[in-house]
């Protein structure tokens, strides 16, 4: 029997597993010019960046493809900053640090990445891969790869899961952790309408409408001013007010209202 220490054996096993991934578990044949560019970037630089611009469906974001294959480190994504070029530069900086020997894991806080701010790395649940990271799934031919979200704080240093976080930024940076049971038919990142008073002053939601076009409104009944309107994701509003789940089956073209949080919801078709 060879006399190999457990640590060396584990190291060799990890190296073998990583080599196996490099040889057998990634896509090597492109389908079009975009694929050829992706594969060439990974071959030359170690990873490729995919940038998605913001639209009515969700915020802008950027993610890496190939970091795990090349360096054995989880892929990286970042959401919601004003410029996809800046987000790409951040991921490239993270990749360069990984190449130099740095590593990041779920829950790590770093002051190296963003000027004057910390950031935190959070594990992305594979349940989000299909919705957001199609090119990673194409390259790895499935969901067998780890991915970390680089989460940035607001100007006061609060993160999205903290009550003090700037509510106007909630739409920009969805947190892609393990999902709980989701009661709504609409996607978690669907844009919904609410008010500044609900988000910033903790006013209760007293009126919920499921409009004919499928949009949702979650209102407090204290304002009709356009300046008070806010757009967040459906997940954001449900996270803030979990009891709204009981209205998940509100039909399109109906509304629900109540006089206070202690009163039951009254449901009616909107005949206006």
CA angle 138, 44, 48 (to 5 degrees): 40
Given pLDDT bands bounded at 50, 70 and 90, which one contains residue 1?
A: very low
Residue at 54 is within a domain: yes
pLDDT of residue 15 exceeding 70: no
Residues 260 and 157 in one domain: no
Is the pTM higher than 0.75?
no
Q: What is the pLDDT of residues 193-238, one digit of tens each?
A: 999 999 988 899 999 999 998 899 999 999 889 999 999 989 889 9
Neighbours of 127 (CB within 10 A): 13
Mean pLDDT of the chain: 88
> Per the structure, how many domains does the chain have?
2
Residues 161 and 220 in one domain: no
pLDDT of residue 74 exceeding 70: yes
pLDDT of residue 23 exceeding 70: no
Residue at 179 is within a domain: no
Range 151-159 contact pairs with CB under 8 angstroms and sequence separation of 24 or more: 151/119, 151/120, 151/121, 151/122, 151/175, 152/78, 152/80, 152/81, 152/114, 152/117, 152/119, 153/117, 153/118, 153/119, 153/120, 157/117, 157/118, 159/120
pLDDT at 202: 87
Domain that holds residue 256: 191-269
Cα–Cα distance, 79 to 98 (Å, whole number) = 20
Residue at 213 is within a domain: yes
The one-character DSSP state at 212 is: T
Cα–Cα distance, 149 to 175 (Å, whole number) = 8
Residues 15 and 53 in one domain: yes
In 3-state terms, what secondary structure has residue 133? Answer: coil
Residues 226 and 93 in one domain: no
The length of the chain in residues reads: 272
pLDDT cut 70: percent of the chain above it = 90
Given 169, 204, 219, the domain boundary residue is: 169
pLDDT of residue 125 exceeding 90: yes
Neighbours of 263 (CB within 10 A): 10
Residues 199 and 165 in one domain: no
DSSP 150-194: EEPP-TTS--TTSTTS-GGGTTT----S-------SS-TT-EEEE
pLDDT of residue 269 exceeding 80: yes
pLDDT at 8: 38
The one-character DSSP state at 267 is: E
Q: Which of 127, 143, 134, 128 is nearest to 68 (CA)?
A: 143
Residues 161 and 217 in one domain: no
* Region 155-181 average pLDDT: 83
Given pLDDT bands bounded at 50, 70 and 90, which one contains residue 13?
A: low
Residue at 245 is within a domain: yes
pLDDT of residue 9 exceeding 80: no
Kindly give the pairing relationship between strand 117-123 and strand 147-151: antiparallel
Angstrom CA distances, 24 to 4, 33, 130, 161, stand at 27, 22, 22, 39
pLDDT at 170: 81
Residues 224 and 255 in one domain: yes
**205 vs 261, residue with greater confidence:** 205
Residues 127 and 65 in one domain: yes
Residues 130 and 62 in one domain: yes
pLDDT at 132: 95
pLDDT at 272: 73
Residues 102 and 30 in one domain: yes
Residue at 55 is within a domain: yes
pLDDT at 2: 39
Contact 252, 205 (CB under 8 A): no
Residues 25 and 63 in one domain: yes
Q: What is the pLDDT of residues 131-152, one digit of tens each?
A: 999 999 999 999 999 999 999 9
Residues 245 and 111 in one domain: no
**Range from 24-28, 45-49, 102-106, 137-141 carrying the lowest mean pLDDT:** 24-28
pLDDT at 153: 94
Residue at 158 is within a domain: yes
The one-character DSSP state at 58 is: B
Given 169, 201, 227, the domain boundary residue is: 169
* Region 165-192 average pLDDT: 82
């Amino acid at each position: 029997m060879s006399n190999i220490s457990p640590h060396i054996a584990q190291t060799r096993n990890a190296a073998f597993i990583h080599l196996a991934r490099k040889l057998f578990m990634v896509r090597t044949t492109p389908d079009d010019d975009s694929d050829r560019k992706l594969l060439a970037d990974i071959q030359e630089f170690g990873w490729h960046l995919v940038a998605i611009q913001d639209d009515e469906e969700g915020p802008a974001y950027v993610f890496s493809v190939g970091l795990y294959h090349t360096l054995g480190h989880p892929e990286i994504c970042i959401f919601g900053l004003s410029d996809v070029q800046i987000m790409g530069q951040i991921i490239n900086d993270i990749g360069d640090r990984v190449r130099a020997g740095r590593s990041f894991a779920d829950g790590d806080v770093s002051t190296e990445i963003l000027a004057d701010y910390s950031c935190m790395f959070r594990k992305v649940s594979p349940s989000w891969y299909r919705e957001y990271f199609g090119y990673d799934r194409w390259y790895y031919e499935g969901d067998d790869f780890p991915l970390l979200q680089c989460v940035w704080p607001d100007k006061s240093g609060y993160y999205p899961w903290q009550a003090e976080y700037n509510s106007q930024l909630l739409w920009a940076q969805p947190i892609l952790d393990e999902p709980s049971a989701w009661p709504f038919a609409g996607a978690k990142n669907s844009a919904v309408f609410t008010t500044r008073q609900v988000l910033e002053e903790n006013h209760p939601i007293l009126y919920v409408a499921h409009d004919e076009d499928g949009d949702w409104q979650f209102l407090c009944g204290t304002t009709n001013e356009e300046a008070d309107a806010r757009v967040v994701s459906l997940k954001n509003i449900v996270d803030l007010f979990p009891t709204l789940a009981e209205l998940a089956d509100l039909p399109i073209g109906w509304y629900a209202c109540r006089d206070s949080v202690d009163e039951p919801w009254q449901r009616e078709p909107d005949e206006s």
